[in-house]
Structure 1
Amino acid sequence: MLQRALKVAALGLSLSGLTAGVAAAETAINFALDWKFEGPAAPWFAAVDNGHFGAEGLKVEIQAGQGSLDAIPKVATGAFQFGFADMNSIAKFLDQNPGAPITAVMIVYDKPAAAIVGRKSQGINELKDLEGKILGAPPPDGAWSQFPALASANGLDVSKITVEPVGFPTREPMLAEGKVDAVTGFSFTSFLNTRRLGVPAEDLNVMLMADYGVHYYGNAVIVNTDFAKANEAAVTGFIKAAAKGWQDAAKDPKKAVEGMIPRTPASDVELETERLELALRDVVVTDYVKANGMGGIDADRYAKSIEQLKEIYEFKNAPTPELYYTDAYLPKDGSLKF
């Protein structure tokens, strides 16, 4: 009996050691989002809660952000291994900080969510109506950074547009109060936030920049390249798990949002589910993604986007698109397909 007990105890210790070894082998990841925990953040938490990151040996901590530019310096300094950021802002950052250790490895917003959201009751029925009006724009906003390309592509006279710098918390309230006639912002954010403040949906005109001659890509997963070089499997694993989280969210948006709510208890499930559904419909599950899977780029369009960026941003150095994005870490097993 004693001998059997000793064997059982030894087996228990062995299994305990094995479990501890597995836990110790998990790679800790800090992931910086572009914005707070709203509907489009839910797929990242689905990847956590549904075990997709864990299956790749990753323990991922997700932190909210303060705008589309926010994650870039966090990743460049190495404080975060991964982030979620605007593609054009990455190009500008690398031009201004040559050699900074960041690159995009997975396109998530195949179309930029950047939009002009205006009040029809204040005369904003088409882009040209911005002339003579007040446009509210947060300086760190990714949508505002794309506005010059929109203006160039559509022949807007920007000298006739009064740009009012606004904060993120005051952007939609100022639009709702009529203090500005339109704002720059992500379509699903500014539209829903303004409607929630009592402005009827039929009074809001949402003009997605991608539908008005802007060839840019939207937000992408970025990685610290020093980390990536030393942890190639972890980068591919992160991409694979993230794609599964988005796939889960596309199948059941409400369930994904319900999983996020404990991280932001004041949020409204129905509102954030609608926000996620709009993001999936307008910028994530595009025709290109349906045909090719998420994460990659179309080479011709990417080239056009760089040329368009050159029209409104003066590069200090020759553009190096291969430094802004790489598909080298994308999984090749079909896991990116929707």
Structure 2
Amino acid sequence: MKRLIAGVLAGMLLTACAPGGQPTSGEAAPPPPKDAEKVTLTLNWVPYGEHAPFYYGLKKGFYAEEGIALEIKPGSGSGNTIKAVAAGQTTFGWADTPPLLNSVAAGVPVKSAGVFLQKGPSSIETLEGSGIKSIKDLKGKRIGGTPGDAMYATFPALLAANGMAATDVTVVNMDAANKIAQLTTGGVDAIMGFFHDQGPTIEAKTGKKVEYLLYADNGLNLLGTGIVVGNDTLANKKDLVAKFVRATQKSWAEAVKNADDAAQSMVDLAENEPPLNVLVKQLKLAEPLLKLSEAGTPGKNTEAQWQDAISLMTKYANLKDPKAPAQYWDGSLASGGGA
């Protein structure tokens, strides 16, 4: 129903605008130009607060300004999103970097157009009082994980980076929707998850405080989620890719300054999203991961960052045939040089 409403809103003409031509709160998004190119973005998962900037950019008209008619689709794990991009089932994907590296190594024809979360949000989450204060404390414990998602794929590397073997823990495979219940009822001692996603959700549902150990703080400081594009699209429609990146950078820059409004745009336009207060907290927790004081602008990476990620994946996660960063990432786009 919200998608239908969003489509109706996009077709309505604005009757009033804030200074600068942007719609004021509660107004419809400006329609894209009649000749706008239809573009789909498949997320890494069902909508949560990290995705608010895309809905905010849609509602504020940032994509329309670039001649893009954007449709946002839910995903089912970064690996599946990358496959959908490669198969031409979606124009762009929002996916984690470790699965991207492994996908390229396996011959999947995709590249990153810029990683936005430059500190990865992958974590081990526990309830307060669990006694788990370090990765080594996981020895002998039961850890819930979902095959196919980014945390599950790199968990063995996290153990290796901390001098542990896969046999030191018991990984319990489960559906993502079941992880919270298993953690809160004691079915597992900890779960793998994005700390800024599941953490606020668990706390809102249970009233219990969540503690977490970030992969990035425990020897596996990998780049996080960003834009994935197919090699064919990059080769044949680089101008479109540059426009999409530019609109996304603006959407993120504005959303982190207006978290409440950005979260409200998800309530207005997304499907099956968490409650508003959870969305706001999730987005605010994501903001430091952008590392804007270093990057200067959302999604702008350096070759050194990519080389560090490649080296860590090679050392701890058996990345096959490691290549130069340019084989995985087009650095000209988020820097403004891709148009």
Give the TM-score of the pair, scaled to structure 2. Answer: 0.84
Shift of 1:285: 3.8
After TM superposition, list the pairs within 5 Å mapping 1:129-140 onto structure 2: 129-140=137-148
Inter-CA distance 131–247: structure 2 relative to 1 (3 Å threshold) = same
Shift of 1:300: 2.6
CA shift digits 1:279-303 (9 cap, x unpaired): 113x2245423xx322222323322
Unaligned runs of 5+ in 2: 1-31
Aligned equivalents of 1:315 and 1:213: distance in 2?
A: 16
Aligned equivalents of 1:198 and 1:272: distance in 2?
A: 16
Aligned position for 2:242: 236
Aligned equivalents of 1:265 and 1:88: distance in 2?
A: 27
- The count of corresponding residues between Structure 1 and Structure 2 is 305
Structure 1 residues 294-303 or 179-188, which shifts more?
Answer: 294-303
CA shift digits 1:154-209 (9 cap, x unpaired): 212432211111110001110011110011110112212222231521xx321111
Aligned equivalents of 2:243 and 2:335: distance in 1?
A: 8
Q: Which amino acid letter does the alignment assign opposite residue 270 of structure 1?
A: N
Q: Which amino acid letter does the alignment assign opposite residue 131 of structure 1?
A: K
After TM superposition, list the pairs within 5 Å mapping 1:256-271 onto structure 2: 256-262=262-268, 263-264=270-271, 267-271=274-278
1:146 aligns with 2:154: yes
Aligned position for 1:122: 130
1:274 aligns with 2:281: yes
> Aligned match of 1:324 in 325, 328, 336?
328
Aligned position for 1:62: 72
Q: Which amino acid letter does the alignment assign opposite residue 257 of structure 2?
A: K
Q: Which amino acid letter does the alignment assign opposite residue 126 of structure 2?
A: G
Q: Which amino acid letter does the alignment assign opposite residue 276 of structure 2?
A: V
Aligned equivalents of 1:235 and 1:77: distance in 2?
A: 17
Percent identity of the aligned residues?
A: 24
Contact 2:44 2:95 in 1 (8 A): yes
Aligned position for 1:252: 258
Aligned position for 2:175: 167
Contact 1:131 1:157 in 2 (8 A): no
Inter-CA distance 170–43: structure 2 relative to 1 (3 Å threshold) = same
> Aligned match of 2:200 in 192, 199, 216?
192
Whichever structure has more helix as a proportion of its residues is: 1
Aligned position for 1:11: none
Aligned position for 1:306: 310
Aligned position for 2:211: 205
Q: Equivalent residue of 1:70, what SS?
A: helix
Aligned equivalents of 1:24 and 1:199: distance in 2?
A: 48
Aligned equivalents of 1:23 and 1:317: distance in 2?
A: 44
Shift of 1:316: 4.6
Larger radius of gyration: 1
After TM superposition, list the pairs within 5 Å mapping 1:172-187 onto structure 2: 172-187=180-195
Structure 1 residues 40-49 or 116-125, which shifts more?
Answer: 116-125
Aligned position for 1:217: 223
Structure 1 residues 148-157 or 312-321, which shifts more?
Answer: 312-321
Q: Which amino acid letter does the alignment assign opposite residue 256 of structure 1?
A: A
Contact 2:111 2:329 in 1 (8 A): yes
Aligned equivalents of 2:221 and 2:116: distance in 1?
A: 15
Q: Equivalent residue of 2:40, what SS?
A: strand
Q: Equivalent residue of 1:121, what SS?
A: coil
Aligned equivalents of 1:122 and 1:251: distance in 2?
A: 35
Aligned equivalents of 2:319 and 2:277: distance in 1?
A: 43
Aligned position for 1:39: 49
Shift of 1:24: 4.1
Unaligned runs of 5+ in 1: 1-21, 334-338
Shift of 1:331: 4.8
Aligned equivalents of 1:119 and 1:139: distance in 2?
A: 22
Aligned position for 1:288: 294
Give the TM-score of the pair, scaled to structure 1. Answer: 0.85
Q: Equivalent residue of 1:49, what SS?
A: helix
Aligned equivalents of 2:312 and 2:319: distance in 1?
A: 12
